[in-house]
Structure 1
Amino acid sequence: MKIFYGVQGTGNGHITRARVMAKELQQAGFDVSYQFSGRPAEKYFDMEIFNGYRVKEGLTFNTAKGQVSYLKTALQASPVQFYKDISTLDLSAYDLIISDFEPVTAWAARKQRRKVIGIGHQYAFGHNIPRKGSDPIANQVMKYFAPATTGVGLHWHHFGQPILPPIIETPEFPANIQSDKIVVYLPFEDPNYVLSQLSCFENFEFHVYSPEPVVSKFANIVSKPLSRAGFQKDLYDCAGIISNAGFELASEALQLGKKILVKPLHSQMEQISNAAALEQLGYGRTMYDIQPAVIEAWLHNHHAMHITYPNVAKIVVEWLQQGMVEMDQAFIDNVWESVQILPVAQ
């Protein structure tokens, strides 16, 4: 079976999920062509598993100082190029089309009257899940950014809805954790400001990853460039993460039993809703601005949850192999029955 797989390239969460899917698709013998959009071609890294992938401009959100600007997003969009990319993407040679919230693929499929499977966290918002910070623009963006004929939504909990657990790597629980080590990933914030706000916590060691890292002049802070291997190594033995409220990193942290503090992007309904879900489930804490008092309280609070999720990528690939029959309640319940939720012993 030949598959065309489009992946949203803004941020790294979609790409992280696609890496896990790519491994399972490859093992199952699928012939997959990958397309990414949402960032310049030179900004992608560690992409070896997506052999021969292509890049399109697509659509992305304008962010500055931790906030999404829908006006600037609209102004920087290139509708002529976007329409051209949609019109020139020929999907006729493919048996199956998948979009991880990637708009060029999704809209090209709709234009060619082809079915498209949407796999990702955003497709969970078609169901009754925790939602906060919603407004008419955000609702329309979520609905029409990358529409799918069949959505496979993902979340940390089912909330009584037909959605699946996260698609993530499922490594062994770390045997040794460095109790003072914190991984920080706030790519939409001013890195100099982030470092200055963390510098006063001298009893902790911060590993700060940024798209454009700045030199750290603080003994307790290591500033690092984006690297999948380096990030995973630090994530594995750290005590906790401070990040924006993206879905994939929090999912990995829960799988590894890390405590979580999120700072959602202002005016970004998905991230604000993610933060609300983490609070509701008791899986993490939230700050809406970078607040040293909140950070300090969180650093000295050892509450963390260890959630063992199944290999959802393999489950989805087997579902594709079996003809994509409707995921009924029995199917959904069977997947969630294997999820275990335990507090992390301190």
Structure 2
Amino acid sequence: MAKIVYGVSGEGSGHSSRARVIATHLVERGHQVRIISYDRGLRNLKDDFDLFETEGLHIAQSENQVSRLRTLTENLKKLPQGHARLKALREEVFKTMQPECVFTDFEPMTAYLATYYDLPLITIDNQHRLRYMVYPCPEQLSHDNTLTRNIIRAMIPRPDVSLVTTFFYGELKNSRTFLYPPILRREVLGLTPLKGDHVLVYLTGEFQRFIDILPHFKNERFVIYGYDREETVDNCQYKPFSKAGFLLDLAGSKAVMATAGFTLITEALFLKKPYLAMPIKGQFEQEINAHFLEHMGYGLNVYSPSVDVIQGFLDRLPEFNSRLDGYRAEDNSKILDRVDELLANDCALAKAFHDLRKRG
């Protein structure tokens, strides 16, 4: 069995949700796994896995828009700690454990050390579709598209194999990239979707302009997560975070209105829920997710929500439901099978891809 270092971005919860599925599978197969993460990834995984805390990047936002200045300044403050944790990661994990293979879900320190120690590097994420897949991009996002590809290249310079999760499929740019259905939590796979009478709202930061619109829809009921409150105001029921409660409200909703994070979109699609996506402006991945969603007919891509826009979304729910009937909901078996293939016979296939990438 293989010794594996698994880097997991701690920005948001999607990376750790995906990594939990993969790491659980690896452990069940008898592999030795050491997870490297921070922030939400640390909090979400530390109780169940052998975990080393590192330092990582964060995106600052307000009113559903990225604050580039705050993002820059807050991350610059962390450079000294980041350098110290990189040195500790090298000494306490890589030198001690001597891994045979490195996995990363958009965590750069493990990616750089995989290259330094000449180890096979496998990426499992949705970010690499933006680097290695051909897809339609709105003209107004072309600059951010190029910038995002360059950031991904800087974060993870030399992946040997990229296992890419996606709900939109395009042509691939190389023979070392493979597309798979979104990785879903076991709790999601076990849900039974129902057509309830409420709309689920999920926000990752303050977006009061949107919240102020909802009382106009007196015949609708909105269940709101992300504000860490427990109260009902008019037709809006605020709920504190609860993984089980959130999933039940998602499964029982008639639609979702939320930011455009990959994980929630794909869970909603699996449960056949129409989605009004409000991408965080300046966060290209969310913007392209929302573009794909609307392009495929599963919901709307909305930058500036208004009474008319939300009413239009609600009026079109039958249309979106009809399109979602054709969405192919799949489990995680395909990508887990590929992971097993890469690690079989002392990581023979992972090492073969590593050699192939080095030969150019």
- TM-score norm. by structure 2 comes to 0.80
Change (3 A) 1:51 1:140: same
Residue identity in the other structure for 1:8: S
Question: What's the secondary structure of 1:177's corresponding residue?
Answer: coil
The equivalent position to 2:336 in structure 1, one of 314, 324, 327, is: 314
The 8 Å contact of residues 242 and 262 in structure 1, kept in 2 or not, is answered as: yes
Distance 2:4 2:181 in 1: 23
Counterpart in the other structure of 2:162: 151
Counterpart in the other structure of 2:148: 138
Aligned pair 1:124/2:129, yes or no? Answer: yes
Distance 1:151 1:158 in 2: 15
Aligned pair 1:82/2:82, yes or no? Answer: yes
Counterpart in the other structure of 1:343: none
Residue identity in the other structure for 2:136: P
Question: What's the secondary structure of 2:328's corresponding residue?
Answer: strand
Counterpart in the other structure of 1:222: 237
User: Cα distance, 1:5 vs. partner?
Assistant: 1.1
Aligned pair 1:208/2:224, yes or no? Answer: yes
Offset from partner CA, 1:211-269 (integer Å, 9 cap, x none): x4245451322212222222112111111211111111111111111111101111111
Offset from partner CA, 1:98-131 (integer Å, 9 cap, x none): 1101123223333444332111000111221233
Counterpart in the other structure of 2:303: 288
- TM-score norm. by structure 1 comes to 0.83
Counterpart in the other structure of 1:67: 65
| Correspondences of 1:1-346 after superposition (within 5 Å) | 1-38=2-39, 44-45=43-44, 47=45, 50-77=48-75, 78-90=78-90, 91-92=94-95, 93-126=98-131, 127-132=133-138, 133-135=141-143, 136-147=146-157, 148-161=159-172, 162-169=178-185, 171=189, 174=192, 176-178=194-196, 180-190=197-207, 192-210=208-226, 212-214=227-229, 216-302=231-317, 303-304=320-321, 305=324, 306-311=327-332, 312-322=334-344, 323=347, 325=349
Counterpart in the other structure of 2:357: none
Offset from partner CA, 1:149-184 (integer Å, 9 cap, x none): 332222113223342221113625736321x21111
Counterpart in the other structure of 1:344: none
Q: Aligned-residue CA RMSD in angstroms?
A: 2.5
Change (3 A) 1:235 1:313: farther
Q: Indicate the structure with greater helix content.
A: 2
Distance 1:3 1:239 in 2: 41
Change (3 A) 1:130 1:165: farther
Residue identity in the other structure for 1:9: G
Gaps of 5+ in 2: 173-177, 351-360
The 8 Å contact of residues 5 and 102 in structure 2, kept in 1 or not, is answered as: yes
Aligned residues between the structures? 320
Residue identity in the other structure for 1:72: R
Moved more, 95-104 or 63-72: 63-72
Gaps of 5+ in 1: 327-346
Distance 1:123 1:139 in 2: 8
User: Cα distance, 1:286 vs. partner?
Assistant: 0.9
User: Cα distance, 1:23 vs. partner?
Assistant: 2.9
Distance 1:87 1:134 in 2: 37
Question: What's the secondary structure of 1:33's corresponding residue?
Answer: strand
The 8 Å contact of residues 100 and 120 in structure 2, kept in 1 or not, is answered as: no
Distance 2:270 2:40 in 1: 28
Change (3 A) 1:251 1:114: same
Change (3 A) 1:215 1:308: closer
Question: What's the secondary structure of 2:127's corresponding residue?
Answer: helix
User: Cα distance, 1:82 vs. partner?
Assistant: 1.7
Question: What's the secondary structure of 1:297's corresponding residue?
Answer: helix
The 8 Å contact of residues 184 and 209 in structure 1, kept in 2 or not, is answered as: yes
Q: How many percent identity over aligned positions?
A: 28
